Amino acid sequence: MTISPLALPFPALDAVAGVRIGTASVTYKNWTRDCVTLAAFIPGTAVAGVTTRSKCPSPEVELCRANLAGGRARGLIVNAGNSNAFTGLSGRQAAQAQAARVAERLGCSPAEVFSASTGVIGVPLPVDLALAGVDLAHAALGNGDFLAATNAIGTTDTFPKAATAAAMLGSTRVIITGIVKGSGMIAPDMATLLGFIFTDAAIAPPLWQAMLTAAVANSFNAITVDSDTSTSDTVLAFATGAAGNAELTSMDDAGADALAAALADVCRQLAILVVRDGEGASKLIEITVTGAIDDASARTVALSIANSPLVKTAIAGGDANWGRVVMAVGKAGEPAERDLLSIRFGDTLVASQGAVVPGYDEAPVAAHLAGSEILITADLGLGAGRARVWTCDLTHGYISINADYRS
């Protein structure tokens, strides 16, 4: 697999106190790499999560939803190569059996175990491999090799993706570190992909959930690779409390703002990394819509642009075909006035008031499009609503990956 031209280096990551990680190989697919990841948390760890809005979720997603109500986590088990989605009763039993084995190994309740699987849909998780994976990964538990874990949760990812940030809670410094896998079947508004976030901060589960929900809205839910939404999308965030700060219970507590900001920063970094590894991506595209009647309307328009195959192929071709942006604004179904619309590529105003600008010079736009980070701005001229989303271009690579993925 060719590494994405938009790849960034894996960051240096410290261990997160209270988190142990182990990985193992059990060949759900014909991979020699590790494909099972176990994380173990100290007692009292708070958990928050956001899962897919798919009407056909995997049993792992259902287990997460049920257990999130408790707000506490001791274990996380992740399988790569098999999503266990749409696998009926046997899939549900396999997920439950694996979670039970994790609980047994960690000496906790199955209600404190969180599960995620990713890969081909429709093939039941082989329960013997799933249980063996727990045992092997448990034997390998160590103080947090995030690179190994990131590699072990991936599927079509071409590079490992992680982000980290720190915050001061009063006099206590805490860290937040997240890992994520993409890289197709990525669309917003339904939660997202698989992302796992770890902090040593002490925080009450309801506040942690509120922070995560807010962070996801402007990160994982503001990206799209192909408009498709996985049946397994899950973001889970674990807060061990090992840093020893007084437990945060309200946004008014000292440092809560800082922790929320750090979480938002990590989520945004991770989300953009997913787009950077979008299947076949050669360019990262940031789309900003301003002047909409409200933020929600701006988001719909931004996603209409981001999901347009014609916009995405134009960017792939380095083609300043701003007419396709007009098309995508027009089809979004949101309030828009052709004769108030303006469009920028990079810093260059290309069109305004319903027509190309007088004396339009395509040269600076072409130069911008020759780069690997593309900015498109559409101002609707109607109000104060704004939104920003990220996507990638649509290339031959996407077709190659997805017309021949399963075989």
Catalytic residues: 192
- Alpha-carbon distance values, 287 to 25, 108, 223, 340, 388 (Å): 39, 45, 10, 18, 6
Q: Which of 160, 184, 205, 255 binds a second copy (CB under 8 A)?
A: 184
* Shortest Å distance, C-beta 317 to a second copy: 3
Q: Which is nearer to a second copy, 35 or 190 (CB)?
A: 190
Residues 111-170 that bind a second copy (CB under 8 A): 120-124
**Residue 212 near a second copy by CB under 8 A:** no
Of 226, 253, 277, 379, the residue at the interface with a second copy (CB under 8 A) is 226
**Bridge-based pairing state of the strands 75-82 and 36-41:** antiparallel
The answer to the question of residue 240 lying near a second copy (CB under 8 A) is no
Question: Which residue number, 188 or 205, has a Cβ lying nearer to a second copy?
Answer: 188
Q: Does 185 bind a second copy (CB under 8 A)?
A: yes
CB of 131: closest distance to a second copy in angstroms? 21
Which residues, 74 to 113, sit near a second copy by CB under 8 A? Answer: 83, 85-91
State which of residues 5, 170, 354, 371 lies at the interface with a second copy (CB under 8 A). 354
At its nearest, how many Å lie between a second copy and the CB of residue 305?
A: 11
| The only residue of 298, 306, 376, 394 in contact with a second copy, by rule CB under 8 A | 394
- Measured between its terminal Cα atoms, the distance across the chain in Å is 15
The amino acid that residue 78 corresponds to is V
Q: Does 2 bind a second copy (CB under 8 A)?
A: no
Closer Cβ to a second copy, 256 or 302, answer by number: 302
Choice between 224 and 269, CB closer to a second copy: 224
Interface with a second copy, residue 227, by CB under 8 A? yes
Among candidate residues 349, 376, 377, 373, the one with its CA nearest the CA of residue 362: 349
Q: In the complex, what is the shortest distance from the CB of residue 111 to a second copy, in angstroms, rounded to a whole number?
A: 23
Q: Is 404 in the site for a second copy (CB under 8 A)?
A: yes
As measured in angstroms, the least distance from the Cβ of 328 to a second copy is 7
Query: Which residues on adjacent β-strands are paired with residue 163?
Result: 178
Residues in 284-313 that interact with a second copy by CB under 8 A = 307-310, 313
